[in-house]
Homo-oligomer: A and B are copies of this chain.
């Protein structure tokens, strides 16, 4: 069986997990949200095995969560973009982010902040701007480094270790 499946479960949570609940899927999607669009960018940022990344990208394209667009020919090379279905996963990522910020090493501060573009207010896990109170859509948000964001050298060191 190629995919996770949860036989006998009639439940939108289970169905969602069949599509994006496999190992790495959501992190790949998060990477694409942050603007990484090419195979090697994603591979080196996550450290996922290349064959697994190929399998995940192929599946996510099939399921219409991602779309691949050629950016050159000879050889054909593609970039991966989120479809509307993929963009709509934003609430799930925000929910994980909120929970992780609260429970995974909160003493270190948040690794990243999600803010309202222009306004600059921080966005909570209901996707509401804490400054202006507006309920926001994906395109009104941007991700910026937070207090616990590691410096590039630290990332390189961790990668070598």
Q: Identify the A interface with B (CB < 8 A).
A: 4, 6-17, 19, 21, 23, 26-27, 30, 46-47, 85, 88-89, 91-105, 110-112, 125-128, 135, 148-150, 155, 158-159
Complex-state Cα separation, A83 to B143, whole angstroms: 30
* Min C-beta distance of A159 to chain B, whole Å: 6
Q: With a CB–CB cut-off of 8 A, which chain B residues contact A10? A: 111, 148-150, 155
* Min C-beta distance of A136 to chain B, whole Å: 10
B7–A96 CB distance below 8 A = no
Each complex incorporates copies of this chain amounting to 2
Complex-state Cα separation, A89 to B96, whole angstroms: 8
Q: With a CB–CB cut-off of 8 A, which chain B residues contact A148? A: 10
A12–B97 CB distance below 8 A = yes
A159–B8 CB distance below 8 A = yes
B47–A27 CB distance below 8 A = no
Q: With a CB–CB cut-off of 8 A, which chain B residues contact A125? A: 91
* Min C-beta distance of A106 to chain B, whole Å: 9
B7–A47 CB distance below 8 A = yes
A96–B8 CB distance below 8 A = no
Q: With a CB–CB cut-off of 8 A, which chain B residues contact A105? A: 15
A95–B97 CB distance below 8 A = no
